[in-house]
A = this chain, B = another copy of it.
């Protein structure tokens, strides 16, 4: 009896170990323009993500998560690191710490469940991702609607540690709605609307993105990490980039759409970034900007189809894509009379587009990129998958000399073909 009493007292805090890793390989094929714009990009293999963490409960209504990444360039990189109070009056769930700020369907959904190896070109350029802040999230009782908002520090160093200079701060809000939810979640339509505001550190920002590929090495560039890591080689170069521009703030509006019908899924997001620029004379570090508003648009649309009798589940409390659980996980039958399975197989295609050129006097000329992606996913078990992606990227990097008309880019059009494969495990 005493033992039971003590065991009950010791119920909290709980701690569960969790983790994930991805081993990637990528091959690049560049035309003359791509080589001239980005230099030769070496094919390669690398650890894309390697995360370990602990999560659990402090009390019945207090959760925490603490995770770190050892595979990315600024290693270790701080991932989720928060504590939240659930069942709070009015706000629902209140969270303090670092987590993916509420903006964009493909960002809020875990990378473990997304259709392609990398999120679209919108992700790096226009979404906040993880930051240190305070926020809340909740859902309606019928689970057809979620809403979330937060304020957070705007800057980050290469370890994903918060870096706040001159008080850079930001905020994000998101609302989602399910107009249709049938067949126990095998048929549904998700709609979402988000807003992201930021006053960056020292009023400087750099909007940029990779070509939906991280593997690939360009020794002459600081690549993926955006910051030189001493003695370490870096990944694929940014394909479009505004450079450091001097701004007051920026506002991004984003829409989300996801339609799932058994084996089929259709997903699309569109964003527009309204950048309030400041006057700034040209120097070695900053791109020259004039006062005004640069309006920068981007979008992606993707179609998926499961060859096996599987579908893409949905988390109604997070407003996010959930884990794919194959009807029949892969199994070999070495003489045993088990029923062999081949996992879940999915084919998919994506079109994505990002324009970082402002066709006005603000002088923001980050270039534009259009990507066409084909994908094949083999979900061998609920916790392992093999992914094959082919990306054809067409880009005009925005590195025109200062002083030329901003809407004319005199760089070469780059055509880059990328074939990538990934092995993923999580637990």
Q: Which A positions have Cβ atoms within 8 angstroms of B?
A: 12-19, 21, 23, 42-47, 50, 52-54, 56, 58-59, 61-62, 64, 66, 68, 70-71, 74-76, 78, 81, 83, 87-89, 96-98, 132-133, 153, 157-159, 161-167, 217, 219, 227-233, 329, 331-332, 334, 380-381, 383-384, 423, 425-427
B217 touches A163 (CB 8 A): yes
Residues of B within 8 Å of A232, CB to CB, are 157-159, 161, 163
The contact of A58 among B13, B16, B75, B427, by CB within 8 Å, is B427
The contact of A166 among B42, B233, B427, by CB within 8 Å, is B42
> In the bound complex, how far is the Cα of B331 from the Cα of A18, in angstroms?
28
Residues of B within 8 Å of A381, CB to CB, are 58-59, 62
Q: A23-B97, A97-B23 are in contact. Are A163 and B44 (CB under 8 A)?
A: yes
B167 touches A42 (CB 8 A): yes
The contact of A164 among B43, B53, B228, B383, by CB within 8 Å, is B43
Mostly, the A contact residues are strand
Q: A19-B66, A23-B96, A75-B76 are in contact. Are A47 and B162 (CB under 8 A)?
A: yes
> In the bound complex, how far is the Cα of B227 from the Cα of A311, in angstroms?
48
Residues of B within 8 Å of A52, CB to CB, are 52-54, 66, 68
Residues of B within 8 Å of A14, CB to CB, are 427
A13 touches B427 (CB 8 A): yes
A384 touches B423 (CB 8 A): no
> In the bound complex, how far is the Cα of B42 from the Cα of A167, in angstroms?
7
The contact of A81 among B47, B165, B217, by CB within 8 Å, is B47
A68 touches B87 (CB 8 A): no
Q: A97-B23, A157-B231, A165-B219 are in contact. Are A334 and B66 (CB under 8 A)?
A: no
Residues of B within 8 Å of A228, CB to CB, are 230-231
> In the bound complex, how far is the Cα of B427 from the Cα of A56, in angstroms?
9
Residues of B within 8 Å of A88, CB to CB, are 332
Q: A15-B18, A78-B70, A83-B384 are in contact. Are A217 and B164 (CB under 8 A)?
A: yes
Q: How far is the CB of A285 from chain B (nearest CB, A)?
A: 13
> In the bound complex, how far is the Cα of B162 from the Cα of A42, in angstroms?
13
Q: How far is the CB of A75 from chain B (nearest CB, A)?
A: 6
> In the bound complex, how far is the Cα of B19 from the Cα of A159, in angstroms?
19
The contact of A230 among B45, B53, B75, B230, by CB within 8 Å, is B230
The contact of A76 among B44, B70, B97, by CB within 8 Å, is B70
> In the bound complex, how far is the Cα of B314 from the Cα of A325, in angstroms?
40
B43 touches A167 (CB 8 A): yes
A15 touches B15 (CB 8 A): no
Q: A228-B230, A332-B89, A384-B83 are in contact. Are A44 and B165 (CB under 8 A)?
A: yes
A47 touches B427 (CB 8 A): no
B78 touches A50 (CB 8 A): yes
Q: How far is the CB of A96 from chain B (nearest CB, A)?
A: 5
Residues of B within 8 Å of A332, CB to CB, are 61, 87-89
Residues of B within 8 Å of A59, CB to CB, are 329, 331, 381
B68 touches A132 (CB 8 A): no
Q: How far is the CB of A133 from chain B (nearest CB, A)?
A: 8
